[in-house]
Amino acid sequence: MLIKKDIIIIGGGPAGIATAIQLKRYNINSLIIEKDTLGGLLKNAFKVENYLGFPDGITGETLVKLIKQHCEKYKIDVFYNEVIDIDYDNKFIVKTKTKKFESKIIVIASGTKPKILKKYNSGKIFYEVYEIKDVKDKTIGIIGAGDAAFDYALTLAKNNKVLIFNRGEKNKCNPVLFEMYKNNKSIKVFYNRNFDSLQVTDKKVKAVFQYKNSFENYLTDYIIFAAGRKPQLNFLHNSIKEKLNYLTDNHELFIIGDVANGNARQASIAAGDGIKTAMMIKDKRQKLKDKS
């Protein structure tokens, strides 16, 4: 059965939610399809200090709680499932794992996925911090040395020992995070460590790095890869890829937030994209009404 919706938003992170809330303010209903939980990547943030209105900063977890309350207040419609395919033939057909939808307008706000250096099937290896944020008395290795790596380290260092492996010799994280790291004795950074492999046993993960002309091993309880992220668009059918410019110029398809913003991956930018998108949808609908 094909379920008809006016507007479908893929992804319930800041970009998707801001779109849905702003649309509601114009009395326009939409459906968010979210495969995980509302709030998107923000649940991982140690402290968000650049989102206006929170002069003392706010933890990612608390900001997500507030965003969920905002959704409840506006009675935002959410269907929890993964979108696996979007096709186009005068209208969009959105397939999830269990249901199929039809819609005239699609907003893709699906964020990013981690870059995978090597695939490992193990419950000890992660790509985001929230799944292990409450563990205690462990040794956790983080592979990567950008903002996310240091942010994850600060979350985990409250109750654990954290090792950051940087493949270069310079720090790439922002100065505020670096200052917080410098004052934290539970985090140690290793430079010029080129990731080689992981060896997982029942109890531990041995991380192997190339260092100078030899190999070094580090015994950890968990490993988090924080080696960059890339746009999450694997559900786009070829029929859409071929018409991408036409569909976006015609305001039938919007691609917003982190999935579209390259390195400018920030919650306030994503939320701003969402509000702008909702305004464009409202204008398009008004023009169509005026014509008819």
Ligand X SMILES: Cc1cc2nc3c(=O)[nH]c(=O)nc-3n(C[C@H](O)[C@H](O)[C@H](O)COP(=O)(O)OP(=O)(O)OC[C@H]3O[C@@H](n4cnc5c(N)ncnc54)[C@H](O)[C@@H]3O)c2cc1C
Give the integer Cα–Cα distance in Å for 56 and 77: 32
- Both tokens of residue 38? 């509302």
CB of 112: closest distance to ligand X in angstroms?
A: 6
**Options 205, 267, 278, 281; binder of ligand X; rule CB under 6 A:** 267
- Per rule CB under 6 A, is residue 151 in the interface with ligand X? yes
Per residue, the 3-state secondary structure of 262-288, as one string, reads CCCCCHHHHHHHHHHHHHHHHHHHHHH
**Options 8, 20, 31, 33; binder of ligand X; rule CB under 6 A:** 33
User: How many CA atoms lie within 13 Å of 49's alpha carbon, on the beta-carbon side?
Assistant: 8
Complex with ligand X: residue 104 or 265, whichever CB lies closer: 265
Binding to ligand X, residues 190-229 (CB under 6 A): none
CB of 43: closest distance to ligand X in angstroms?
A: 8
List Cβ neighbours of 58 (8 Å cut-off, separation of 6 or more).
47, 48, 51, 66
CB of 33: closest distance to ligand X in angstroms?
A: 5
Kind of pairing between the strands at 125-126 and 112-114: unpaired
Kind of pairing between the strands at 214-220 and 205-211: antiparallel
The residue with tokens 């080689």 is 196
Instruction: Kindly tell me the sign of the dihedral angle through the C-alpha atoms of 111, 115, 121, 127.
Output: negative
Site string for ligand X, 54-93 (x = CB under 6 A): ----------------------------xx----------
- Per rule CB under 6 A, is residue 14 in the interface with ligand X? yes
- Per rule CB under 6 A, is residue 235 in the interface with ligand X? yes
- Per rule CB under 6 A, is residue 40 in the interface with ligand X? yes
- Both tokens of residue 68? 């969920």
Complex with ligand X: residue 210 or 266, whichever CB lies closer: 266
CB of 145: closest distance to ligand X in angstroms?
A: 13
Residue numbers at the binding site for ligand X (CB under 6 A): 10-16, 33-36, 40-42, 44-45, 48-51, 82-83, 109-112, 148, 151-152, 232, 235, 257-258, 265-268, 270
